[in-house]
Structure 1
Amino acid sequence: MDLQVDPQIIPQMDEFPPPPSQEEINDRIKQLAIKHNVNHRKLMLKIDICVVPLTCLLYVLAFLDRVNVSNANVYGMSEDLNMTGNKFNTALAIFFVPYVIAEIPSNWLMKKFKPHVWLTGCMTLFGVCLLGQGFVRTYGQLLATRFLLGLFEAGMFPGCFYLLSMWYRREEAQKRYSFFFSSTTLAGAFGGLIAAGIHNLDHDRGIRSWQWIFIIEGACTATIGILMIFCLADFPEEARFLKQNERDFIKEKLEIGNAGVSEYERSMTRKDLAFVFSDWKVWISGLLYFGYIVPAYGYAYFGTAIVKGLGYSPVMTQLYSVPPWVAGFGFSMVSAAFSDHFRHRFAFAFFAGIVAVAGFGLLMGQTKHIGIRYGSLFMICAGTYTAMPILVCWTQMNFSGHHRKAIASGWQIGFGNTAGFISTFIFEANEAPTYPTALDVCLAFTAFSTVLLAVYFAAIWADNRYKRTEKYRQKFRSWPKEKQQLAGELHPSIFYSY
């Protein structure tokens, strides 16, 4: 039966114009640049220089400070603190208790206190906490410092993603997101190099080399955190490095193709929270990230142990742990460049997931050949740490508005990181160096998220078709005015990207 359209509604249908083509978007941006008297190319370079490197530095240090415990363990931390059985796994897992709980509240607090205050404050505190971790003498003290480290680091990842998402349009975001996310691979590489250099400090001033890792990296983090309060960027509406005409240009540029009103000045409410969580995309974004977090943290915390199991000395283990991280960074950035060029996300994320699945398959199937086992680590690291930034960029850029982005990013990263509890307990010491159970679990979760990528792709494709119908427009018109204004990407004129 054909859909019946109320004649009284027909004159209103122009209120939901079709989304502009990329050519139309580019033309509008050029017109805005003339209107506000800005050089678009130079302004974007200025934003890239002032926003991206510092957020990357924040996360490099945050990720380094949370996973350097694996480098420390190679130098005898477990023996010195009498950690037997699954005590090391517990020390890893306790980090995630406050880390998961505090993610969404942290995004709310960041909007309240401004990024340059909130993010650098958190960074300084977790740097001091890591510094203190270098002086622990008991297992209980290690647990306490790991708990505090998780609490102070909670806002870094979702906060930085939220901040970046408010500066760039969908078609501009992937290279920046991947460069930011791939800083985790650089952190893994730097961690191995730093640990190799610190080996010679063993017993200097009565301090073990594993303690020096925490002391040196913690002191550097805290110092940089204090200095960055003067230079970290805020949201575009009040960024100190922009002139007023540049702020106005960025605001209008980001609104091209969007609908609703700016939410920047409006406080979040519980109603906003309920509204955001009524959207299925929020839930599936968390599940996607959850599945990839298992292998990602599994590799971050135990990749060094797998390399050590190949028969290398402690120093050579640290050095051989570096190349897979470097390969991961390269593969991620190349994929991001092509993803932005073709303005497509799904195929690149799906292919990266397949690479990671194949890597785990090789590592599980080959227990004797050192070259194949080592080579599979390149595939695992490259595949996992390429799929994750693409899927996070893809899902987050399909949300629109301050509130929806803040809540959705906090949920995705917060819920996803609960998988850290799985990652930290599946690698059992009695199964070293092959870790068959852990690899089975990592393979299963990697395959789960890779398949779920296809489900998400099919679902938003169907939603885009539904948005083009009068039935959806009538449903939207039936919403209260305030709900319509804060609908973000649920507006009939906004379509999801693939």
Structure 2
Amino acid sequence: MAKAEEIFSTTTSTEGTSENSSTNEAVERANPNPSKERSFFAWFDKNDGPIERRLILKLDFLTLSFACLGFWVMYIDRGILANAYVSGMRSDLKLFGNEFVQLGSVFTVGYATSMIPATLLVTKVPAHIVLPLSTFSWGLFTMLAFWAKNFSQLAAYRFIIGFCEGPFFCSIHYVLGSWYRPDELVRRAGIFYMSSGAGTISTGVLAARIYSDLDGALGHAGWRWMFLIGALCTFPIAIWGAVLFPGALREEKRWFMTPAEHTIALERMRLVGRSSPKGLPFAWSSVKRFFGRWHWWVLVPWNIIWILGMGWWGQHILWLRAQPQYSIVQVNNYTAVSPSLGVVFIFAFSWVVDKWGDKAKIPLFGFVTTMTFIASLGFVLYDKSSIQWKWFSVSIGYMLVSLSPVIYSHANLVCAGDAEERAFVISSMLATGTAFNAWVPLFVWPTVEAPRLFKGYTFTTVLQPVYFAFSVFVFVYSKKKMKQEASEKIAAEAQAIEA
């Protein structure tokens, strides 16, 4: 930061711009006053200067291109298992019991295991090294699943795929939180998360096409080709990330920024109280610091309830497969319905929160949990609800998932003052929720009870009012604590000046 301060000290400001006497070149300051009047579709704040806008565009392209492509192919590599299962893998590998839900749990254990250490790792090792490497690795083991001969081999591959995918989601949110202001963050997180819906859509459509065109090609079943083609989509994206992904903001300037842009990037985060990594050791003292604040104790339980509540939509493929009027190709295609609407939900929710801020969050969460409650009730009343009600449930299954950008952006903002804690809390939110999701489905979503799955859908229905009540508490309590912390910081700074 010393270098940045030296640049600023040689600059005089006139309405947001200044002139460097040594170069006669206009040097711009970061926008210190984002407008309270936010246009719904405006991409920049009206007070952002030309250099700051150029910086934002560079970040959007370089960061979001890899984030979105990586998340898109992650959801293909992750989700292709369900499509393979209903496309012949079940009979070929003799998975006639609860092996399907067990494969999901094995993947989840691997996913949860690497999440926290890998996200903390990117505070020390640049994310533009860690994430492309992990992307290449999960693609490699997805490819190996093409040759799986039995449940044990496939389970081993799925564990490693989950382990390699663990760093991606939380680390991307950490990276976004190191570049963007609060008024910019949610929509970027939304664009990032829209790629999960795009990946799920692509999975269904791609699986249907692979099955119809390649089933039996070169003597291999269509479901095997799903894994191979998914892997071949992954490797170029890993290479793209290794070359172009900027990683998190650090004191050292990256190649894609000019000195002025790097200075503005540092100043933008300083103005919103966002700290850079301090290189703190992975030690017990750091862990005590993380657990000594309220953030972990409030945000982690909140996320556990959300993750357990949203798991219902992944079971809908089993209901579709149980309908005799739908062929395998149709089932694979129909799995694209829910994520297609999910992309719309993610876009709308992210833009609404960026436009209206905190006051939009409670109404939004109330609407989503109510709709999910009604939809899941259609499967609780399986024998009495109409096929139209069940199709409504299938269609909006991704709605609760679509709250993800709002949830993780909220965590980014409340933990803004400590980069390492921010990485720890965000990764803990997902890792802990995922850890619960590794064993709870074994009891509430047993495959042998499909398609009714009464316990699972009842569980989802009950969780919706619980999740909404907890969300109200989180938003109210966060606002109170952030105001208190801001007042304490101002008082401490005033006392230091007096001293």
Cα deviation digits, residues 275-308 of structure 1 (max 9, x gap): 11122221221222211212434423x2211222
Asked whether the equivalents of residues 358 and 379 of structure 1 are also in contact (C-alpha less than 8 Å), the reply is no
Identify which of 456, 478, 486 aligns with 1:438. 456
Identify which of 296, 309, 315 aligns with 1:282. 296
Q: Residue in 2 aligned with 1:104?
A: 116
How much has 1:57 moved relative to structure 2? 1.1
* 1:397 corresponds to 2:413: yes
How do 1:18-417 and structure 2 match up within 5 A?
A: 22-23=34-35, 38-200=50-212, 201-237=214-250, 238-258=253-273, 262-267=276-281, 269-300=283-314, 302-311=315-324, 312-344=326-358, 345-367=361-383, 368-382=385-399, 384-400=400-416, 401-417=418-434
Going from structure 1 to structure 2, the CA distance change for 1:210 and 1:262 (only over 3 Å counts) comes to: closer
Asked whether the equivalents of residues 280 and 286 of structure 2 are also in contact (C-alpha less than 8 Å), the reply is no
How much has 1:89 moved relative to structure 2? 1.5
Give the counterpart letter for 1:317 in structure 2: V
How much has 1:431 moved relative to structure 2? 2.0
How much has 1:114 moved relative to structure 2? 1.1
Equivalent-residue separation in structure 1 for 2:254 and 2:372 (angstroms): 39
Equivalent-residue separation in structure 1 for 2:118 and 2:37 (angstroms): 34
Q: Residue in 1 aligned with 2:29?
A: none
SS for the counterpart of 1:381 is coil
How much has 1:72 moved relative to structure 2? 0.6
Asked whether the equivalents of residues 362 and 372 of structure 1 are also in contact (C-alpha less than 8 Å), the reply is yes
SS for the counterpart of 1:230 is helix
Asked whether the equivalents of residues 178 and 276 of structure 2 are also in contact (C-alpha less than 8 Å), the reply is no
SS for the counterpart of 1:112 is coil
Residue correspondences, number: 450
SS for the counterpart of 1:57 is helix
Equivalent-residue separation in structure 2 for 1:381 and 1:24 (angstroms): 31
Equivalent-residue separation in structure 2 for 1:310 and 1:44 (angstroms): 48
Asked whether the equivalents of residues 353 and 387 of structure 1 are also in contact (C-alpha less than 8 Å), the reply is no
How much has 1:132 moved relative to structure 2? 0.2
Asked whether the equivalents of residues 100 and 154 of structure 1 are also in contact (C-alpha less than 8 Å), the reply is yes
* 1:452 corresponds to 2:467: no
Equivalent-residue separation in structure 1 for 2:267 and 2:281 (angstroms): 21
SS for the counterpart of 1:113 is coil
Equivalent-residue separation in structure 1 for 2:63 and 2:174 (angstroms): 12
How do 1:460-479 and structure 2 match up within 5 A?
A: 460-464=478-482, 466-467=484-485
Give the counterpart letter for 2:195 in structure 1: S
SS for the counterpart of 1:229 is helix
Equivalent-residue separation in structure 1 for 2:454 and 2:46 (angstroms): 59
Cα deviation digits, residues 445-471 of structure 1 (max 9, x gap): 33332221011122224324644777x
Going from structure 1 to structure 2, the CA distance change for 1:283 and 1:183 (only over 3 Å counts) comes to: farther
Cα deviation digits, residues 473-495 of structure 1 (max 9, x gap): 88x79xxx9xxxxxxxxxxxxxx
Asked whether the equivalents of residues 349 and 388 of structure 1 are also in contact (C-alpha less than 8 Å), the reply is no
Going from structure 1 to structure 2, the CA distance change for 1:85 and 1:246 (only over 3 Å counts) comes to: same
Asked whether the equivalents of residues 167 and 235 of structure 1 are also in contact (C-alpha less than 8 Å), the reply is yes
Equivalent-residue separation in structure 1 for 2:203 and 2:486 (angstroms): 50
Equivalent-residue separation in structure 1 for 2:443 and 2:221 (angstroms): 26
Unaligned regions of 5+ residues in structure 2, if any? 1-31, 39-43
Give the counterpart letter for 1:217 in structure 2: G
How much has 1:176 moved relative to structure 2? 0.8
Give the counterpart letter for 1:123 in structure 2: T
Cα deviation digits, residues 191-221 of structure 1 (max 9, x gap): 1000110112111111111111111101221
Give the counterpart letter for 2:216 in structure 1: H
Asked whether the equivalents of residues 366 and 468 of structure 2 are also in contact (C-alpha less than 8 Å), the reply is yes
Equivalent-residue separation in structure 1 for 2:35 and 2:88 (angstroms): 59
Identify which of 447, 454, 461 aligns with 1:429. 447
How much has 1:182 moved relative to structure 2? 2.4
Going from structure 1 to structure 2, the CA distance change for 1:467 and 1:375 (only over 3 Å counts) comes to: same
Cα deviation digits, residues 28-55 of structure 1 (max 9, x gap): x999977xxx522232122111111211
Root-mean-square deviation over aligned CA pairs: 2.8
Asked whether the equivalents of residues 136 and 235 of structure 2 are also in contact (C-alpha less than 8 Å), the reply is yes
SS for the counterpart of 1:73 is helix
Cα deviation digits, residues 282-338 of structure 1 (max 9, x gap): 1221222211212434423x2211222343111111111112211111012012111
Among all aligned residue pairs of Structure 1 and Structure 2, give the percentage whose two residues are the same amino acid. 20
Most deviating of 373-382 and 125-134: 373-382
Most deviating of 204-213 and 458-467: 458-467
